[in-house]
Amino acid sequence: MKAFKAKNRHDASYYIDGILNQDRVKLSQAITITESHLESDKQLASQILQHVLPHTGNSLRIGITGVPGVGKSTFIEAFGMHLISLGFKVAILSIDPSSQRSKGSILGDKTRMEELSHSNHAYIRPSASGDTLGGVANTTAESMLLCEAAGYTIILIETVGVGQSETAVHSMTDFFLLLMLAGAGDELQGIKKGIMEMADLIVIHKADGDNINHSKAAKSKYENALHLFASNESGWSPKVTTASSTQNTGIDTIWEIIQNYQTLTVANGYFQKHRNHQKIDWMYRTIENELKRLFYNNSAIKARLPLLEEQIIASELSPVKAALNIIGEYNKTKKNV
Amino acid sequence: MKAFKAKNRHDASYYIDGILNQDRVKLSQAITITESHLESDKQLASQILQHVLPHTGNSLRIGITGVPGVGKSTFIEAFGMHLISLGFKVAILSIDPSSQRSKGSILGDKTRMEELSHSNHAYIRPSASGDTLGGVANTTAESMLLCEAAGYTIILIETVGVGQSETAVHSMTDFFLLLMLAGAGDELQGIKKGIMEMADLIVIHKADGDNINHSKAAKSKYENALHLFASNESGWSPKVTTASSTQNTGIDTIWEIIQNYQTLTVANGYFQKHRNHQKIDWMYRTIENELKRLFYNNSAIKARLPLLEEQIIASELSPVKAALNIIGEYNKTKKNV
């Protein structure tokens, strides 16, 4: 654990008051502290979060995914501006564990959502960097809570639809929106079935010009595909719709569908139940990640595992025996600390 | 840990020699020891497994799933007898973590596969009982290895298609076969998309009599649905076929398809690579299950978790802080042991 302290930090109350007074600069500083790997920052972040916690939860959390090229930025720009026109304050966060973004590309993020980045009612924050999806997802979820405490009433959490980060986004949002393109061949454009299964709404995007008929056909196709699958615990049947962000068509319908979802699930109790589950799961996920992190970061364990793998592949050692042996060694080292 | 010893146990060499000499009675006894929760039996099982390990791996491992009513037993009966007619020795194991089967229903299992149960070339063993899927799956995987050492050249691992056990079966087999029925409505009969995604072959079962045309239509429908999804790392495109076990039609085609899969994946190296991954994953899964088991079985932890859950739901404590707090307490208790 690094003991040195980050420069220029204020007391927790400075950030807490700032967030509760909807000060965007102090919100940004608090998120930076949340993203930091310094031990002193971690403690400060924990204090801030603990204090603003009673002021969180008052937003609708929407996850948005789709493969690169599907037009996520233009969609978020159009959808976000629509929400702002209805009086919402919108925060846009992203999860992208592969990203090695520098401060420079925060500007990149803001450029690709030009109108939003100039709105006083929008807050755009790109993905934290980090080694593990678990770590990045944790940071994003905590940033989401800070944004809620700062008065943002809609949180859009964006992810790149090619990995495991969709599950992380799904685990922290109320509604999961999947962007797709028409006419990109028969396969689901690299989208895994498991991701389709999480979708509450599939939007066939770029449904404009010559693409309108293709998009309508794709809509039917995905509707049929969704019907093939079992229904959701929420009581909601996933919907498919078409939209064009450049023509600004279908964006209002998307918001109506999301409102219908919210009305239904608030009424049947699923909305709150789902959020409670998410919070509890978050604790257990953190516990289990931390148990694994402590184990795999142990230097004796690190040195031993490649040897065990070799012995297992050579059928010299059974996988279970290998596992129990190394757990035994691990517990011994811990008692001697 | 219970220290008392099970009655009537022989030395490990008794079971090892028995298994390698293809003695079915001693194989059964060894599996019973593998399923036992007694500490002395666990050690004995580990010794037996360790010694037969070099004689394992010489079978084709086929996972078979489908919802209740799809006709798994009649299918396994027909398919197993077909394999025996081709000269294979067939072992049939099952994973069913929900089962509370008594000795009595082992008879039940044998009754529902009457021909197989009378064949000297088939070995039928029902699911072990157990509290956790991980435990049951481990036992089944170890039983599979014992069966291989006893000369069985095809292992059929059956599961009930309604839970998490499909993933466990998939994690220990070379080929995954999903049984479906035609004309059971538009939804996938309770089969989750994630299970369809694992299938190397979908068999539309009970394709006989009035049902033949429905089955052909269902075949097209599932072929279209499978085309919607991304291709597999194995280089294999999942197939769909129809079969009737009572009419014994389509059974030979299924075996041809499985052989095609094996030929392809052995040639492109995926077959062995996949098995190596499965073994390594098995070790890591066991490590992580064991880390969790040790944590959640700790009595101080057990007492504390419900309180933390309440505080989290009331937004009094953040999930991450709750997790880190309790991990800290856990590590303290361990150092004091």
Query: Which pLDDT tens digit goes with each residue over B17-61?
Result: 999 999 999 999 999 999 998 889 989 999 999 999 999 999 999
pLDDT band at B184 (very low <50, low <70, confident <90, very high): low
Give the Cα separation of A179 and A167 in Å (integer).
Answer: 16
Q: What pairs with residue A156 in β-bridges?
A: A62, A92
Backbone angles phi, psi at B245, to 5 degrees: -80, -35
| pLDDT score for B78 | 97
pLDDT (tens digit per residue) in A230-282: 667 889 999 999 999 999 999 999 999 999 999 999 999 999 999 999 999 99
CA distance B207 to B243: 5
Minimum CA–CA partner of B198 in chain A: A193
Q: What is the pLDDT of residue A94?
A: 87
C-alpha to C-alpha distance for B17 and B110, rounded to whole angstroms:
26
List domains and CATH numbers for chain A: 1-55 (1.20.5), 56-268 (3.40.50.300), 298-335 (no CATH)
Q: Name the band, by pLDDT with cuts 50, 70 and 90, for residue A137.
A: confident
- What pLDDT, on a 0 to 100 scale, did the predictor assign at position A166? 86
Does the distance separating the beta carbons of A229 and B327 come in below 8 Å?
no
Task: With cut-offs at 50, 70 and 90, classify the pLDDT of residue B186.
Answer: very low
Distance in Å, alpha carbon of B142 to nearest chain A alpha carbon: 9
Q: Is the pLDDT of residue A147 over 70?
A: yes
Where is average pLDDT lowest: A34-43, A45-54, A131-140, A312-321? A131-140
Higher-scoring residue by pLDDT: B91, A191: B91
In this prediction, residues B82-110 reach a mean pLDDT of 71
pLDDT, average across residues B302-323: 93
pLDDT, position B7: 67
Q: Degrees (nearest 5) of the Cα angle A186, A190, A194?
A: 105
Q: What is the ipTM of this complex?
A: 0.81
Lowest-pLDDT range, A18-27, A64-73, A201-210, A253-262?
A: A64-73
Query: Is A291's CB within 8 Å of B292's CB?
Result: yes
Residues of A in contact with B331 (CB under 8 A): 294, 334
pLDDT band at B98 (very low <50, low <70, confident <90, very high): low
Q: Is the pLDDT of residue A316 over 60?
A: yes
Residues contacting residue B184 through CB under 8 Å, at least 6 positions apart: none
Q: Do B335 and A331 touch (CB under 8 A)?
A: no
CB contact (8 A) between residue B283 and residue A323: yes
Q: Which residues of A touch B53 (CB under 8 A)?
A: 315-318
Return mean pLDDT, chain A. Answer: 87
SS3 for B305? helix
Q: How would you list the strands of the sheet with A122-124, edge to edge?
A: A122-124, A90-95, A154-159, A60-65, A175-181, A201-205, A239-242
Question: Exposure pattern of B3-39 as b/e (b: 16+ CB <10 Å)?
Answer: eeeeeebeebeebbebbeeebeebbbbbbebbbbebe
- Whether B77 shows a pLDDT value over 80: the answer reads yes
The predicted-structure confidence for B108-143, as pLDDT tens digits, reads as follows 555 678 899 999 999 999 877 666 777 788 899 999
Per-residue pLDDT at A288: 93
- A323–B287 C-beta distance less than 8 A: yes
Query: Sorting pLDDT into bands at 50, 70 and 90, what band is A6?
Result: low
For the segment A176-195, the average pLDDT, to the nearest whole number, is 71
Of B186, B193, B312, the CB nearest to A193: B193
Q: What is the mean pLDDT of the segment spanning A310-323?
A: 92
Distance CA A262, CA A266 (A): 6
Distance CA A161, CA B306 (A): 35
> B67 φ, ψ to 5°?
-70, 160
The pTM of this model reads 0.75
What number is the average pLDDT over the span A26-50? 93
Q: Which pLDDT value is given to residue A186?
A: 42
- Provide the β-strand partners of residue A123: A91
A vs B: CB pairs below 8 A: 170
What is the pLDDT, as a whole number, of residue A88? 98
Q: Between A223 and A259, where is the model more confident?
A: A259
Chain A CB contacts of B291 under 8 Å are 288, 291-292, 295, 327
